[in-house]
Structure 1
Amino acid sequence: MAGRIGWRRLARNEQGSFTLESSILVPVAVFSLTCFLVAGLYYYHFIVLSKTAHETVERTAFAWNHPASEWRTGVVPAEPRTSLYWRLGADGIIGIFKLLTGEIPSAIHLPHQGSEGREGPSGKLVRAAAHLPDTLQGRLHYSNTLLRRSVQAELALSLPVILRPSSEELRYSLRAASVIVEPAEFVRSVDLAVRYGRALGDRQINHQRASAAIARFIGREEPASFARHDQAAAYLRTIVGGKETEFETAHGMRRIDALDANGVVHQAYLTFTAKQLEEIQLPKDAELIQRHPEVTAVVWHFFRRTGQTGKVGPPDRLLRKLEASGITVVIHDAEE
C-alpha cells in the first residue's frame, strides 16, 4: 500500500518535468532543423544551377547576332560592325548546303579550357563558357536547321553527400534551351523570297532549268560513281571544305577523310563490308563523338563504285545502329 502511494506522489510531482521534456524534444528539434537546413542547401544549389543554365542560353541567344556586343548586358558598340553576309561563314549556313543533312551542330564541353580566338558558332560558345564557373560540367550546344537556330546548355553540378563517405556525391543535371530570333532579318528574308518567287514565275523558270542553272553556277556536278576510294575522298573534301587528318582512339588510329571547320568528321565509303564497319570503324567514330573535344559530329558518305549494281549504302540493321550511335548517313547515288 505504501509503495502504491509513493508512485502516485511521484506521478503527480512536477519537479524535473521540464528537464525530461527538453531531453526528448530538443534533440528532435535540432535534428529536424538540421534536415531542413541541409535540404534547403541542396535546393539552393539546384536553383542556382537552373538560373545559371537559363541565363547562359538566353544571354548567348540574345547576343548571337551581334558578336561584338557585351555578353552580360547585350549592349552593342558602334564599332566594329559585322559584315552584311556574316551568317554565311560565322553562323554555319554554308555548312548546311555542304553537308546536305539539314543540321550543323557545334558544341563545347565544360569546363572549357580552350582558346578564345576561335571563330564561328564554336567561338561564340567559348565566349559564353568563359562566364561559367569551373565547378560546372556538361556542354554548350548550338544547332542550326536553317529554319530554327537554338542554343542549348546541359549543365551538371556535383555536391558531397553529408554523413556519407567522402567518395559519394550528389549530382544535379539540368537542360535549358533558347531559340535565336531575329525579326528584322526574318522580314527581309520573307520579302526577298516573295520578290524572287514572283520574278521566277514571270520568267517561267521550272525545276529543270533551275537545276541546270545551279549546276552551271557551281561548276561541279557529282560523278555517278568512283573507281577508287581516294577519288571519292577527294571529291568529299571539295564539297565540305575539309582536310584530311588523323585521331588517336582507344580502338586504334582513325584516319579521317575530311574534317570541316565546324568540327564535323566526314568519311567516304566505296567498298566495305558490314562487319568491318560495325566492328572496326563504328567504335572509333562513336568514341570521337563522345570523348574527343574537336569533333562535334560524324557523317558517313556512301558512294557508288564503278561497275556496282544494286543498292548503295549500309544494310538496314547497320543503318539503325549508326543512327543510335549518333552517326549521320548520307547516300550519294545518282541512279536513285
Structure 2
Amino acid sequence: MALRRKLWVDFWGELSKGQRFYSSKFDLKKLRPMIMKRIENRAKDYPIRDMVPVAREVLKARALLIRGVSTLIKVFPVQACKFCPEVFIGEKGHLIQTCRGFRRRAKNRVHEWISGRLDDILVPVEAFHLRNMFQPVIQHNQRFDFERVPAVVELCWQAGADPTDEDLHLNTRNSDGIVGGVHGVESLSPEDLTVIANGTLKAWETLRSGVQRLSLVYPVKVCEHCSEVHVGPSGHKARLCGVFKYESWRGTHFWKKAGVDDLVPPKIVWHRRPQDPPVLLDEGRGYYGHAPAVVDLCTKAGVVPPTKYFTMIKVLGRSEPVGSEH
C-alpha cells in the first residue's frame, strides 16, 4: 500500500513539473532560435549516400526515355485532340465520344484530331529549382527569382545527383530540337524499332520505380486542387492555384504528399487490340482496354507489355457488345 502511494506521488509530481514547464511564464521567443538551428542542421543529413546511385539511375533513364519516345513517334503517329487532353496512338483517331472540350462547348462529343507531339506522350511537370533543400519558403513575390526545371530532375538534384545542363533544360516541350531521337529513323528495320521500344519501356519502368523510391525518402508535395508540384520539406507560397472563384486572381496551394503519378504522369490512352476494329467505335467503349501512352507506343513496335498491364489492357476481353454480333 505504501509503495502504491509513493508511485502516485511520484507520478503527480512529474506531471506537475511538466505543467510548470509549459506554463505561460515560459518565453517562447527563446525556443525559436533553437528550432531554426535544428532545421538548418537537418541539411547535414542530406543527401543520403545510399540514394545517390538511385538518383543517377533515374536521370539516365529519363534521358533514354525521351530519346526513345522521340524516335518512336516519328514512325508511329500520335493523334491529339484539338479541344481536350485526349491522345491516341495510330494513323487515325478513334470515334469514342469522350471529348470534354472547352468550357462552353457541349460535352461527350467526337474528338477533333491533330498531329500530336512529344509532350502529349510525356507530360511535362516542372517545379521550382531551389538553391538548397532547407532554404526559406518561397514567397509569392519571389516566384520569378527561381528557375523552373523538370520536377524529376529537381528531385534527383536534391538526392545528390549532379545533373548536367542538358538534364536541367531538357524538357518534353523543347526536346525536339535538342534530342530529336535517332537519326535516319526511316531506314530502321522492324527489329531495330523493337530494340528501341524495349529500351524505351525499360527506361519507363526504371524511371517510375526510381522516382517512387526517392519520394519515400525526400519530401515531394503536390497541390490538392491542381497539378503544381514542389520538391522540398514545405510547399511554396506562390499564389498560382486559382481553384476558388472568390480569389481576386489566384489562390494559394493546398499541399499534400505527392506520388509517382504526380511527377511522372502515365497519360492513359485507349489501347487497340488485335480483336478490335480498325477504328474504335463509341458503341464498344465499355469493352476496349487502356494503357499508359508509353506502353501503348512501345507495343506498336512489337514489344510485349509487362503482365501488370494485362488487366488494364483487357488482353482477352471482348471487342463489341453481345447484341452487335450477327
TM above 0.5, yes or no, is: no
Larger RCO of the pair (alpha carbons < 8 Å, separation 6+):
2
TM class by shorter chain equals: under 0.3
Whichever structure has more strand as a proportion of its residues is 1
